[in-house]
Amino acid sequence: DGFMIFPMVLRPKSKGRIYLRNSNPLSSPMIDPQYFTDEEDLDVLVQGVKYSKLLLETSPFKKLGTRLYKAPIPGCSHIEYDTDEYWKCQARHLTFTIYHQSGTCKMGSANDPTAVVDT
């Protein structure tokens, strides 16, 4: 028996990109999520892990005999377990998207480098 807790970044600062493969509207786009290009997103996940671990120490979870499963993470074995750097490494190796990808295109003036359409 087991359960999982998934800390999430609900308002990521990192920004991904979507590229069109060609001019065919039926072709799937190429999606590069560019996870963790902003370090603050990793910090949020580390805080989520720490909070999740605190939940395991509460009496309802203790009554169930819960414990943290220390699964080996390829690529993170050289980092001391349970440090911020370890959890950041784990996030870099195990993060995935669980929602439908979506995006917006900002409209703005011609001199705004983040705008895609002139006003």
User: Tokens 């995935």 sit at which residue?
Assistant: 96
How do beta strands 30-32 and 17-19 pair?
Answer: antiparallel
Query: Per residue of the chain (119 residues), what is the pLDDT tens digit?
Result: 788 999 999 899 998 888 899 999 999 999 998 999 999 999 999 999 999 999 999 999 999 999 898 888 989 999 999 999 999 999 999 998 877 777 778 888 888 888 886 55
Kindly report, residue by residue over 12-35, the tens digit of the pLDDT. Answer: 999 888 889 999 999 999 999 899
Q: DSSP state, 29?
A: P
**DSSP H helices in 57-102:** 59-63, 84-94
Structural domain spans, the chain: 17-118
Strand partners, 44: none
Strand partners, 30: 19
Give the pLDDT score at 2. 85
Active site residues: 100
Using DSSP's 3-state secondary structure scheme, residue 59 falls into: helix
pTM listed for this prediction: 0.76
What residues contact residue 15 under an 8 Å CB cut-off, 6+ apart?
34, 37
Give the pLDDT score at 112. 87
Give the pLDDT score at 104. 76
